[in-house]
Structures are given as structure tokens and as C-alpha cells.
Amino acid sequence: AQSVTQLGSHVSVSEGALVLLRCNYSSSVPPYLFWYVQYPNQGLQLLLKYTSAATLVKGINGFEAEFKKSETSFHLTKPSAHMSDAAEYFCAVSESGYNKLIFGAGTRLAVHP
Amino acid sequence: DTEVTQTPKHLVMGMTNKKSLKCEQHMGHRAMYWYKQKAKKPPELMFVYSYEKLSINESVPSRFSPECPNSSLLNLHLHALQPEDSALYLCASSQEGRGKPIGAFFGQGTRLTVV
């Protein structure tokens, strides 16, 4: 079965600093990987997705992620954090053949002045 | 229109009540999903409808009954719930249930409290 592991349940950065949220996947087949963001009391918003095209994927709000097969990773980065980036971030993998998403445990990003 | 609309936003119900959650999308998506999210946890899949037919039921108790009246609507009928069923219920849609995954669009959720 496919799964994702997010390293670090809480990450805290200063405004303007680099954001790095870690995600490792486990899959016996080429995976489809996603990053979602959830603001308090909101639904989930798709940030970006990897679907076996370019390994460097650019998303919304200045986020990007790089698929590294050798490291089984799909880490999310943003060069400069904004206060508005504070939220819960979920990495997810899609089971082959379906848009059935399996989510990681989530990482709460805090941004302080 | 790239929205998935869920109603109501909040619902409080007793353990003997019957209620329904509603979800609507007008993106032409043919797959729709119900997820359950407990506090400080990731969403967990409950049901998948593909072309208006139930294709996945993740061993959800029968007190939750999904319904897909047409390609734009998805309901979740609730009956005899327990307090531990209190959670955020999220609806999502995507272009297809099978094929190359492109990700799903989520609604804002219904915050359900069972008393």
C-alpha cells in the first residue's frame, strides 16, 4: 500500500525565512503526490501536484516541491515565508488508478515576526 | 466556477436525530468523495462515487449513508450517530475516479457535533 510520512508535526520559521516541509513516500509504483494547505476551520486547498512530468513542480502562493526518486521524497519549499502562510500542510499520495488520496499526518507551520 | 459547496457549515444533532449533509459542484467532475477529519488529524476517506455509482466504501458504519442523486450533488445521510462521530466532514470532487490522478477540490466542510 502507498503511504506518505511527514517529518515534523510542527515547524516554526521567521517571516522572510526559507520554508521547508518534509514528505517521504512509500510506493511500489510511480506515485502521484500532492501538497494541500488547510487554514483554520477551512477545507483543503491544492498547492501543487506531481504526476510524473517535471520533477520540480511549482504551485500557488510561491510554493514549489521537488520529486526525488532516489530519496523517495517530495519536500515542499518556499524561499520567503509570509505571516499568511501559517497553516496546516498535508502531503498526500494517490493510489494508482484512483483519485483516492492518502494523507500524511500533517505539519503545522507557524510564522513569527 | 471552481468551488465545492457544502451545507450546512455547522450542525449539532442528538444521537436519535436524522440529518443530512449536502455537497454540490458545478465543475463537471464525475467523481465525488466524503472525508472525515477529526481534530488535529488528517482527513480520512469514507466514500467515493464515480459516475454516480458508489465505488469505494472504506468500511464506514451503516449509520452513515451516502447518496449521489446526480453528477453535481452528493449527500451524506446521518442517523443514530455517536458523540465520537463529531468531526469535520469534507466533500471533494475530481474529474474522474479512475485514471491519472490530478488531485481533488475540497469544500469548506461541515463541522458536526453529536450531543
Which pLDDT belongs to residue A19? Answer: 98
Contact A26, A3 (CB under 8 A): yes
Task: Choose, out of A37, A44, A89, the residue to mutate when testing the contact with B (most B CBs < 10 Å).
Answer: A44
Q: Residue B17's closest CA among B71, B92, B85?
A: B85
Identify which of B40, B43, B47 has the alpha carbon closest to the alpha carbon of residue B78. Answer: B47
Q: Are A111 and A82 in contact (CB under 8 A)?
A: yes
Average pLDDT of chain A to the nearest whole number: 91
Q: Is the pLDDT of residue B1 over 60?
A: no
What is the mean pLDDT of the segment spanning A30-54? Answer: 89
Extract the C-alpha cell encoding A95: 493510489
* Distance of residue B79 Cα from the nearest chain A Cα, in angstroms: 24
Q: Residue B22 phi/psi, 5° resolution?
A: -125, 150
The DSSP 8-state label assigned to residue A112 in this structure reads E
Residue (of B39, B41, B38, B50) closest to B104 by Cα position: B50
Query: Who among A51, A99, A102 is closest to B97 (CB)?
Result: A99
Per-residue pLDDT tens digits for B35-92: 999 999 999 999 999 899 999 899 999 999 999 999 999 999 999 999 999 999 999 9
pLDDT at B64: 98
Share of chain A above pLDDT 70, in %: 96
Element (H, E) at A30: none
